[in-house]
Amino acid sequence: MRGMAQGRIAIVGTGGTISSIGRDVFDLHDYDATGKMLDAAEILDRLPRGANDPECYPVPFLSVSSTRIGFPEWRSLVVLCGNIVEQDPGVAGIVILHGTATLEETAFFLHLTLKVDVPVVVVGAQRPWNGLSSDAGLNLRNAIRVAASDEARGLGVLVLLNDEVHSARDVTKGSTTRLHSFHSPVHGPIGQADSDRVVFYRTPTRRRAPDTEFDIAGIEALPRVDILYAYAGSDDVLAKAALAAGAEGIVSAGFAPGSPNPMEAAVLREAAAAGTIIVQSTRAGSGRVLPTTELVAAGFISADDLTPQKARILLALALIRTTDAAEIDRMFRTY
């Protein structure tokens, strides 16, 4: 198949909807109640394959809802991907099966921390494996094809759902259950997995794995970073609570185009002056937070166009390296 690298694809299972088995074919929303999830080997056994599809093999890892995934699992995935590449010189790419709830966060963390040079594709599904019109099987087959594509190399971590290839930096989940839930606001997908071949149309320009400055080897826990969501009538209680809990950084998911409410802003300005890193994002879902006079005077860092949940990941990784606000500001303009 044109554009497909020679070699094997490792399939890492973490659980999620793509691995789930509902009560029957019509169970498209309450399938978690069954507690049934297939592991990577079982999924590969059930996956229809084309004559030219690359060889795949399962790598045992987890079978959980992605709401249970955080830094310990991310750290283990980084180590696991490194081990796969080190132990299998013939591996051409890695596919990670993942629940959609935190898929974008796992993908972005790996996008910033992986040190492997093969394509890594994170894939999920909006409907369980045995559901009527499930997207699980086709999404997985397409993710395998993307991971085996020569053109996928050097693009950082990729996300595949609904025939679209997205950069882990840009993609977000925009609907609870629709098949077209995952999208990249403003920037759009970087490619697509069509029935005849995988095609790419743009290359991400922001710095990405494996060429990043973040190394989590030996890190037991990320610095505490909390997200504060702005809403009409909110006050400063949650900001004070986050600081009292020991937050080393705070992401303000502020009103668009990027500001907290006045009471919260006052607390965050004091915190910034005392050395806590405050990153200003927005609840809007897309668009850059511009460095206004007010933002600069407050000592806040712009999240650029990162969503609050992704700004939190970048800030936590940045705080491993430095507490210098100017350096962290550079990182937000780099990644």
Query: Three-state SS across 201-262?
Result: CCCCCCCCCCCCCCCCCCCCCCCCEEEEECCCCCCCHHHHHHHHCCCCEEEEEEECCCECCH
- Tokens describing residue 312: 């939190």
According to the model, what pLDDT value does residue 115 have? 97
Tell me if domain 8-200 and domain 225-334 are identical in fold.
yes
The rounded distance, in Å, linking the Cα atoms of 120 and 127 is: 22
The rounded distance, in Å, linking the Cα atoms of 82 and 86 is: 6
Class of domain 225-334: alpha beta
The rounded distance, in Å, linking the Cα atoms of 273 and 211 is: 32
The rounded distance, in Å, linking the Cα atoms of 195 and 193 is: 7
The rounded distance, in Å, linking the Cα atoms of 53 and 55 is: 7
According to the model, what pLDDT value does residue 5 have? 60
- Tokens describing residue 117: 């040079």
- Which of these, 81, 214, 215, 212, lies nearest to 156 by C-alpha position? 212
Catalytic residue, candidates 14, 17, 282, 307: 17
Does residue 323 have an active-site annotation?
A: no
The rounded distance, in Å, linking the Cα atoms of 261 and 185 is: 25
For the chain, list residues with pLDDT below 50.
1-2
DSSP string, 135-198: SHHHHHHHHHHHHTBGGGTTS-SEEEETTEEEETTT-EE--SS-TT-EE-TTT--SEEE-SS-E
According to the model, what pLDDT value does residue 1 have? 43
* Domain formed by 8-200, architecture: 3-Layer(aba) Sandwich (3.40)
Predicted model pTM: 0.96
According to the model, what pLDDT value does residue 3 have? 58
295, 302 Cβ separation under 8 angstroms: yes
Name the residue ranges covered by the structural domains of the chain. 8-200, 225-334
According to the model, what pLDDT value does residue 118 have? 98
- CB-based contacts of 265: which residues, under 8 Å, 6+ apart? 259, 298
- Tokens describing residue 309: 């949940």
